[in-house]
Structure 1
């Protein structure tokens, strides 16, 4: 890990990317509508370009400079790849993306739409990353790591900057964790000012396992959200944020995630992929129990789901 993410790092990233990303809206849910005595504010980051928060990090990494003629290269479960491909397409940069065989059809379609060179290889993200690193040695393209690179994490932190401006009253923020780029950025923005709650599924518990072990440990990845939250090892930025700024780490089941997806669609006509609904699942299932009258923020982080599920 080279350097820490500070509020200044995130502000600088926002200055670079704000003309290229959407300031995604929030949705206020009154106390009692979904959870008794708890008002909820959703930040609808699934409405971001390319369908997830990851466009923020993608644009920041590209606009920060140092992109060779061979372009950029990335491994991804789908969303990071789509974000990099989208940003590269808009900025006229070549992009090559490696995704594992578990990539969802919706995410593969996004990648194809943005014109990147796509390689489907490996059973999971880790195997796709190995192939990506081999290819990067051949081409000299700039590697954009999905979650463990300063430019990427600082870009993701801009979602926190926006959320604080839009909803300064929140007492806590629930965030889904995969490799840790999003929580690394958000926690580095809030820096303990509010409670940060890390949410993972039982099949993707990288941060939870690392915090229990006192160090990053490899986990086997499975379940409904594995394509989005399927890093087998928490990144350094995510682990650093987890140790310093995360108030609580909780796990939800696949059934909890599906119920949260259904809730978002049935009540608000918002489509979230499983990873995108994971943070809300902790609240609706009671796995995270807020204090009475607590004002809870939830980041809905991705919407690249197939419409057939709704």
Structure 2
């Protein structure tokens, strides 16, 4: 199967001039010590529509004939590809119809409609929306714009790789969030053509990782069950073209846990002041979960920033818990006036902040004359958690963490 050439990606770059942003490259000093050298973040979360998807969508739709554009375009997406197709179609004068899963994030749904597209909610997962979009194309003659498995789409996404080489000429490792494989395949095509020694690493959510299984089998294999907060990379089966690119050009595919994804979102927000969705933060999650495994200088691609504020709130709480910033404890104390005040005074002296508290006299674990106090505490990190726990125990409290 013929791979996308760097010449094709260069033509896509010329086409996209004035359409997409040359996104910034952030120097992330907080990751230097664990990895022994410079780490940079390629901020595609700051791209138009909030992700890299506009690059491939515009390249693909621009390549259609006037007659094809007149029939309209149709696509399926969890959100980012939908926005890219909607904006690209609007810029090129084509009607766009998008099929999205029924539980697609509301901001992505609203943004897609805001670009003028007609949106249909269909199915619980992306594959069901894809099937509906394909059926719509067959019935109406609209041109189906695949989210990743098309040469024009891969060429458009590959322009990210050209920018990486220009912004960090001595890059040694590039980490890329990977769902279907269009972005990592395009970046690999561009980078390997210019700098074959650069290591390309795809990053997938551990609970939605089709590529490790597919690479082991030597062909695309479907993952039947996917449960991840990173909906943007929750793709059940690679396409034949993207699989060929990953097999030929990508050096490794690693997986990351949900805890690492939430910590990565929190790290981008807290340390870089960047809003990044879980899928977009997968490369940063790899930096957190695999310290010292990647040769610097490293570029981690932040592939998208379209996150529902309610989900972001949950992720921040989850990330703070994973990072040891929350401590949950239960204490048994005598049931007499001043017991609760004594616990809270000691917690305050230890520098922990009470987020939530529950005071109960009803528990099978309690003796007569005891009450149970459940505390959720905000701390400064894992070491502070250990100090608080140890000091409460030394103060004579019976404590369960």
Please give the TM-score of this superposition, normalised by the length of structure 1: 0.94
CA deviations on 1:103-149 (whole Å, 9 max, x unpaired) are 11221121121110001101111111111111101211111100001
Structure 2: distance between partners of 1:27 and 1:172? 15
1:215 to 219, 223, 228: 219
Q: Distance in 2 between matches of 1:32 and 1:136?
A: 46
Decide which of 258, 273, 282 is 1:269's aligned counterpart.
Answer: 273
Q: Deviations over 1:183-231 (max 9, x none)?
A: 1101111123300011101122111111111111000242334521121
Distance verdict in 2 for CA 1:112–1:51, change over 3 Å: same
Aligned residues: 307
- Which of residues 284, 293, 300 in structure 2 aligns to 1:298? 300
Aligned mates of 2:197, 2:188 — CA distance in 1: 9
How has the CA–CA distance of structure 1 residues 50 and 221 changed in structure 2, closer, same or farther, with 3 Å as cutoff? farther
Paired residue secondary structure (1:203): helix
Q: TM-score, normalised by structure 2?
A: 0.73
Distance 1:18 1:102 in 2: 34
Deviation track 1:70-119 (CA, whole Å, cap 9, x = no partner) reads 21111111110110001112222110001112311221121121110001
| SS of aligned partner of 2:298 | strand
CA 31–307 in structure 1, closer or farther in 2 if over 3 Å, else same = closer
Report the equivalent of 1:280.
284
Q: Could you tell me which residue of structure 1 aligns to residue 34 of structure 2? A: 35
Q: Distance in 2 between matches of 1:182 and 1:63?
A: 19
Question: Given the alignment, which residue of 257, 264, 286 partners 2:261?
Answer: 257
Relative CO higher for 1 or 2, CA cutoff 8 Å, sep ≥ 6?
1
| Structure 2 CA distance for aligned equivalents of residues 26 and 127 of structure 1 | 36
Bigger Cα Rg: 2
Distance 1:143 1:162 in 2: 28
Alignment CA distance shift 1:30-1:226 (3 Å): closer
Q: 5+ unaligned residues in a row in structure 2: which ranges?
A: 314-401
In structure 1, the partner of 2:4 is 5
d(CA) in 2 for partners of 1:270, 1:32: 15
Tell me the CA shift for residue 49 of structure 1.
0.8
Partner of 1:47: 46
Question: d(CA) in 1 for partners of 2:136 and 2:129?
Answer: 11
Stretches (4+) displaced over 6 A: none
Q: How does 1:84-123 map to 2 (within 5 A)?
A: 84-123=85-124
Moved more, 202-211 or 39-48: 202-211
Q: Is the 8 A contact 2:31 2:287 kept in 1?
A: no
Contact in 1 for aligned 2:185/2:250 (Cα 8 Å)? no
* 2:179 is equivalent to residue 175 of structure 1: no
For the residues of structure 2 that align with 1:264 and 1:29, how far apart are their CA atoms? 9
1-structure distance, mates of 2:34, 2:264: 13
Residue 126 of structure 2 corresponds to 125
Which residue in the other structure is 2:202 paired with?
Answer: 198
Is 1:159 the counterpart of 2:152 in the alignment? no
- Would the aligned equivalents of 2:32 and 2:39 in 1 still touch at CA under 8 Å? no
Aligned-residue RMSD, C-alpha: 1.6
Q: What's the offset of the Cα at 1:306?
A: 2.2
SS in 1 for 2:279: helix
